[in-house]
Every structure is written in C-alpha cells, then in structure tokens.
C-alpha cells in the first residue's frame, strides 16, 4: 500500500510498500491490510502504526483527523503528527509537543472568544439603533 500523511500545511510522510496499518478511532482500533475494502474513518488522537519492509514497524502519534483508503492508497489527514520507532521516546515527545500546543490553543481560543463577544455586542447595539 501507499501511505500519505498530511498536515494542514505540508506532507508529513509518504511511504510505499506498507504492509499493514493500525489506526485509532473514537470507537476503538482497527487494522488495514492491502486487500481490505475501501473505507473512511474519523481518527481519534492516538498512535497510528504502519509497517513496511524497509523501516519495520513505525509509530506516529497523531491528533484528530481522517483516514481514507481507496484501492492501495491510504490518505491520513491530521492536525499534528510526531514519528518515532520507540514508544517511550515518542511518548515523551508527544507530552512536550502537545502540552505546548494546548497552551497556544487556549490563548488563541481566549482571543477568539473576546473577538466574538465584541462582535456580538456591537451587532446587538447596531440592531437596537
């Protein structure tokens, strides 16, 4: 199979000769082999595993996203991803990276909430005039 992992602004990974993929959804994990029927799945944050002859088993920590399998092509589109071959090292990287991301997301959401409330109050004032 051919696996392509997309992030919002770049291609994270493009692998050929993939023999199996294991992905996580909100209802549990599932596996994909080359002859599996085509499918679409909403991915939950977790570990995506793929295996090929060159690298062996590779782990990707992924954020929410979607997986699409059509024929031998598997497309994974996620907000963030980190690769690793050792789960303990990957776990440490994920904790560092995603904790920083959470802090940035919280400050961004706070700024958006302030903008939205300002817009709504101006719109309400406009409506009363």
What is the percent of the chain with per-residue pLDDT over 90, rounded to a whole number?
40
- Distance set, CA 129 to CA 52, 115, 116, 118 (Å): 66, 21, 20, 17
Which residues neighbour 2 within 8 Å (Cβ) at sequence distance 6 or greater? 14, 15, 16, 18, 72, 73, 74
Q: Are residue 110 and residue 92 in the same domain, yes or no?
A: yes
List pLDDT tens digits, range 78-109: 988 888 777 777 777 776 776 666 666 666 66
Please report the pLDDT score of residue 100 as a whole number. 65
Q: Where are the alpha helices (DSSP H) in 45-86?
A: none
Q: Are residue 15 and residue 68 in the same domain, yes or no?
A: yes
Q: What is the mean pLDDT of the chain?
A: 84
CB of 2 within 8 A of CB of 18? yes
Q: Are residue 37 and residue 57 in the same domain, yes or no?
A: yes
Does the pLDDT at position 28 exceed 80? Answer: yes
CATH code: domain of residue 36: 2.60.15.10
Question: Residue 13 in 3-state DSSP?
Answer: strand
Q: Are residue 35 and residue 92 in the same domain, yes or no?
A: no
List pLDDT tens digits, range 59-81: 998 888 999 999 999 999 998 88
Q: Are residue 51 and residue 1 in the same domain, yes or no?
A: yes
pTM, rounded to two decimals: 0.72
Query: How many Å from the N-terminal Cα to the C-terminal Cα in the chain?
Result: 62
* Number of compact structural domains in the chain: 2
Q: Are residue 96 and residue 127 in the same domain, yes or no?
A: yes
């Amino acid at each position: 199979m051919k696996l392509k992992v997309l992030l919002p602004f770049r291609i994270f990974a493009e692998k050929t000769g993939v023999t199996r993929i294991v992905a996580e959804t909100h209802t549990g994990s599932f596996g994909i082999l080359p002859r599996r029927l085509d499918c679409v799945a909403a991915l939950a944050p977790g570990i995506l595993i793929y295996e090929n002859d060159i690298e062996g088993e590779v782990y990707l920590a992924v954020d929410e996203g979607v997986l699409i399998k059509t024929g031998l092509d598997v497309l994974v589109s996620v907000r963030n991803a980190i690769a690793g071959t050792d789960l303990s090292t990957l776990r440490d990287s994920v904790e560092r990276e995603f904790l920083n991301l959470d802090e940035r997301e919280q400050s961004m959401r706070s700024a958006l909430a302030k903008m939205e409330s300002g817009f709504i109050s101006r719109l309400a004032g406009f409506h009363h005039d």
